[in-house]
Amino acid sequence: MRTFRDFMESALYDPVRGFYATRTPTADFYTAPELHPAFGGVLADRLAALLRRTKEARPGEVLTLVEAGCGNGTLAAQVVRRLREQHVDVAAGLRLILLERSRRDLTTAARALTAFGLRVDACTDIGRLPQFAGVLYSNELFDAMPAHLLEKKDGNIFEVYVDETGKPALGGVSSPELAAHAAAILPALAEGQRHAVSLEAPRWMAEAATRLSAGFLLTVDYGKRFTHETPNAPRAYRAHRIEDELTARPGEQDLTVPADFNALIAAGDRAGASLESFTSMSRFLLEGGIEKWMSDTADDGSSSHKHRAQIKTMIHPDGMGEAFKVMIQRKFL
């Protein structure tokens, strides 16, 4: 039997049959940059401000902008276009690194971004990222990282495994590190309740903070600041609906675990990156001036109700606005 973590890894990232290898954009869910380029525009404005602050702290250094989990480059293209149009001082001489585990998507993204005339490097693993000064940003990276799954039964806690037929089964906790999480969450779980633990997410964040010599880490993700009193349940999405069975359709549905921002904050702190701000995506976008994008025309030159509705989805409390959070961590050595 496999741990749920290993099942999730295969279901999402198998290079042939995994969900992300076969996903049709927007078919099962929307990401913010897929909804409207206003997201990338507002994000670019904040990134420009952070890059300028880094330049002040490290004059003379070449600034680097890293997008982690860049996919096919949709968001990176929005960000770079805005930087070149509105922040020429930042774009000039900027080094861009695209970080993506899928070589197919990474190739697609790199080809698209080279058209902007920037220096573009590509990387498939955070462990291969060179030391840099600047900003590393990500959008929906951590909620797609495979996680272990715990379940309470008869007053005890077990790990969820997946057998050869794809059905879940309970067994002993697979590692001492996970056992510590299990002991902490056990009192908060009701009988039969599940709790997901990503051991990889804080490790990834610590590695990113270590690679950053000076600058900022900006994270946009679905999740919240979990405590040991707050169970974190995984979800499956297919055709914009939540599915009841997590293991029923490997490769045909998205599996996601809300990002545990407290764990990410602690990991950053240990690596020298302290928390600067934490807010909802709604507040981040509104403070960044996304409302002015609503008065702009659609791509076809016409005023569009759909155009406005797409932006509202990103800021509405019942849409992405409150479910998604934006965190900025800073590191100056």
CATH number at 52 reads: 3.40.50.12710
Q: Would you state the pLDDT for residue 186?
A: 96
Is residue 277 domain-resident? yes
Q: Would you state the pLDDT for residue 296?
A: 64
Containing domain of residue 261, as a range? 30-146+200-232+257-332
pTM over 0.85: yes
Is residue 16 domain-resident? no
Is residue 285 domain-resident? yes
Is residue 296 domain-resident? yes
User: Given the DSSP bridges, would you call strands 274-280 and 324-332 parallel, antiparallel or unpaired?
Assistant: antiparallel
Q: Would you state the pLDDT for residue 282?
A: 96
Residue 256 pairs with which residues in a beta bridge? 235
- Residues in the chain with pLDDT < 50? 297-298, 300-303
CB atoms within 10 A of CB 317: 10
Q: What's the domain count of the chain?
A: 1
Q: Would you state the pLDDT for residue 27?
A: 65
Is residue 6 domain-resident? no
Q: Would you state the pLDDT for residue 28?
A: 66
Is residue 207 domain-resident? yes
